[in-house]
């Protein structure tokens, strides 16, 4: 803005949450004091802000009217919005209305350990697609967005749906 622009924004629909550093510190300290062990805390960060709106507001506040906004496109793995929980998970309130405790699925230690050992063994093969496929089997809610690994998501969805799978897809992963 100081140099006359342009301002770069990755995507016109991208949104992000913002909070001040003092607010974040206060919430982290308070959550830490209420913890008993093993809890996952979520903070209410208010409504998300469209980055394009933030850019326009900053241009307007600068007093300039002819600074352009350029869209650069999402980077690999970058999301338009962040999901804090998956659809099967919920929160329960605490005494502070801005701090919630996530109620997530519980896993058997041995099962997780076995899955991680398999993941490590697959990673020794230096095959990114197979490694990511295993990661997605461990965390089925994870979806690759704007990434070369979206192909793994499509293959796993076909397998879940029992839809016909292109044999080349299966061997490439």
pLDDT (tens place) for every residue of the chain, 173 residues total: 888 889 999 999 999 999 899 988 998 999 989 988 888 888 888 889 999 999 999 999 999 888 999 999 988 878 888 877 766 678 889 999 989 998 887 888 999 999 999 999 999 999 988 898 898 888 877 777 777 788 777 877 777 665 544 434 444 44
| Domain total in the chain | 2
Boundary (domain end) residue, out of 87, 103, 119: 103
Are 95 and 26 members of one domain?
Answer: yes
Please state at what angle helix 150-161 crosses helix 128-138, rounded to 10 degrees.
50
> For residue 139, what are the domain limits?
109-172
Predicted TM-score (pTM) of this structure: 0.62
Torsion sign, CA atoms 126, 130, 136, 139: negative
């Amino acid at each position: 803005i100081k140099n006359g622009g342009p301002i770069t924004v990755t995507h016109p629909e991208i949104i992000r949450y913002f909070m001040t550093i003092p607010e974040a510190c206060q919430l982290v300290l308070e959550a830490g004091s209420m913890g008993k062990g093993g809890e996952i805390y979520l903070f209410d960060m208010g409504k998300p802000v469209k980055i394009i709106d933030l850019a326009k507001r900053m241009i307007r506040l600068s007093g300039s009217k002819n600074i352009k906004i350029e869209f650069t496109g999402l980077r690999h793995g970058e999301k338009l919005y962040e999901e804090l929980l998956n659809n099967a998970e919920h929160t329960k309130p605490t005494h502070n209305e801005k701090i919630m405790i996530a109620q997530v699925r519980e896993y058997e230690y041995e099962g997780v350990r076995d899955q991680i050992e398999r993941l490590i063994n697959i990673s020794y093969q230096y095959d990114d697609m197979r490694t990511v496929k295993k990661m997605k089997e461990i965390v089925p809610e994870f979806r690759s967005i704007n990434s070369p690994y979206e192909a793994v998501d499509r293959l796993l969805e076909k397998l879940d749906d029992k839809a016909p799978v292109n044999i080349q897809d299966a061997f490439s992963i």
